[in-house]
Amino acid sequence: MNKQQILSYLKEKGIDKVKFAFADIDGVLRGKVIHHKKFADGLESGYGFCDVVFGWDSSDVCNENIKLTGWHTGYPDQLCRIDLSTFRTIPWQDDIPFFLADFSKADGNDLPACPRSLLKRIAKECESMGFHPEFAQEFEWFNFRETPQSLQEKSFTNLESLTPGMFGYSILRTSENGDFYYDLFDLLMKFNVPVEGLHAETGPGVYEAAILHDHVLEAADRAVLLKTAVKEIAYKHGIMASFMAKWNEKLPGCGGHVHQSLWNKDNSENLFYDANDANKMSETHKQYLAGQLYCLPHILPMYAPTINSYKRLVEGAWAPTTITWAVENRTTAFRVINTSPAYTRLETRIPGSDTNPYLAMAAALASGLYGIKNKLSLNIPATSGNGYHDDKNGKISANLFDAANIMKESKVAKELFGDDFVEHFVQTRLWECKQFAKSVTDWELKRYFEII
């Protein structure tokens, strides 16, 4: 609906409040509920929002490393703008109208820290090259019979999983909590986050949801909304959902794989498919994949943004550790799927469920376009067999500190995303490392408290 249609809708329904939110650098949704008059008044000029939301971390601790904002700027308001095309209602909150916003400006001078604005810019570049970017993200997450209060009381230990045992793809396990399970599918659909498939994954209380594919911006919007929506729906059932990449060293991690393909402008032909190629891959597909392989070391923190991300990227844990690709191989960093012309695509398997979808998709699309623009050859052979043992093209950085410092110095990253974004984003990742470095962990207490 356009502006006038939305305002008429609010008036006809007697709606007096509207909810909106935007994603911060970590992919956390920050927002407000506002009066319908404030909503109408701000549609042209925007809405002031304290830019501390881009100056603190996911725990609301002010980041002292960044230039964008801080005590030195006085934490002023920045104008965010609601995207009317994102209109939907929240079915588990009395159908309150909801919108996504970002910090885009008409003159193109976007706030460098705004993830959605960055993805919009990359998508626009893709379209200017004659492509339609079709994307989707899938998520795995653990569910617990806990509350925010019980987590604090237990100090995040001895948590009760929703169900015991591994039970991957089990029909039985999901029926045990059928009200929650079907609420997820049905309410997400009503929220315009259509789920292609929902099932139990291996691990106690683990679910996996694949979202229906769409244009990259809509795909990222849906992915961001799914994570918060799942948590809110879980709350209503006395359940907590966690999208940590790896919450327990003895259990599998949680993936957030990104699926993608490029189509012609009217979205009628998949430009990744070539029936005459041995792997059914067009030259465009090969160049796109070559770009992702080449750029991966330069932009890894956009796929693996937290300290915890790298606990998932270990051998034998259904997550990649090497810079590799193959057709239908889940041990490699990039998996080519070529089952049919309509569904031929590339799966980027590095991202975990802890990723910011806007940044993960921006990284995938920008690096793929880099390969096309530079006509890169796919000179890395497809891996045969176990990708964990195929390290001839290099390994994925083992920790956030190393990955962030590589990105900090990378000319490739700055070419893809601009100096301002890279500087800000890298500093937020190094801040994360700094906060972790000063923390005393349970592992240290158990190892050193008595014996040393």
* Interval 420-437: pLDDT, tens: 999 999 999 999 999 999
Q: Nearest 10 degrees: CA dihedral of 223, 362, 79, 222?
A: -10
What b/e sequence results for 186-210 when a residue is b if at least 16 CB atoms lie within 10 Å of its CB, and e otherwise?
Answer: ebbeebebebeeebbbbbbbbbbbb
* Residue 234 Cα distances to 144, 145, 223, angstroms: 9, 10, 17
Q: How far apart are the first and last CA of the chain?
A: 66
**CATH fit for domain 3-112, picks 3.40.190.10, 3.40.228.10, 3.40.50.12240, 3.10.20.70:** 3.10.20.70
Task: Please give the DSSP secondary-structure letter assigned to residue 161.
Answer: B
**pLDDT tens string 50-69:** 999 999 999 999 999 999 99
State how far the alpha carbon of 148 is from the alpha carbons of 27, 222, 239, 353, in Å: 20, 25, 10, 20
Band the pLDDT of 298: cuts 50, 70, 90: very high
pLDDT band of 1, cuts 50, 70, 90: confident
Q: Using CA atoms, how far apart are residues 370 and 97, in angstroms rounded to an integer?
A: 38
* Local confidence band at 365 (pLDDT 50, 70, 90 cut-offs): very high
Whether the pLDDT of residue 280 is over 90: the answer is yes
- 175-229 pLDDT, tens digit per residue, is 999 999 999 999 999 999 999 999 999 999 999 999 999 999 999 999 999 999 9
Cα dihedral value 240, 244, 250, 253, nearest 10? 120
What pLDDT score does 243 carry? 98
Span 127-417: which CATH code? 3.30.590.10
Query: Which helix (DSSP H) or strand (DSSP E) does residue 424 occupy?
Result: helix 419-437
pTM of the model: 0.97
> What is the chain's Cα-based Rg?
22
Exposure of 143 in the CB half-sphere (CA atoms within 13 A): 32
pLDDT, tens only, 98-147 = 999 999 876 767 899 999 999 999 999 999 999 999 999 999 999 999 99
pLDDT score, position 110: 87
Task: Decide the pairing of beta strands 214-215 and 334-337.
Answer: unpaired
> Token match 């623009």: residue?
373
Residue 232 CB partners (closer than 8 Å, separation 6+): 92, 93
Per-residue pLDDT at 377? 98
Mean pLDDT taken over the chain:
97
Q: Tell me whether domains 3-112 and 127-417 share a fold.
A: no
Domain range annotation of the chain: 3-112, 127-417
288, pLDDT greater than 70: yes
Over residues 311-332, mean pLDDT: 96
| Mean pLDDT of the region 31-52 | 95
Instruction: Find where tokens 């770009």 sit.
Output: 291
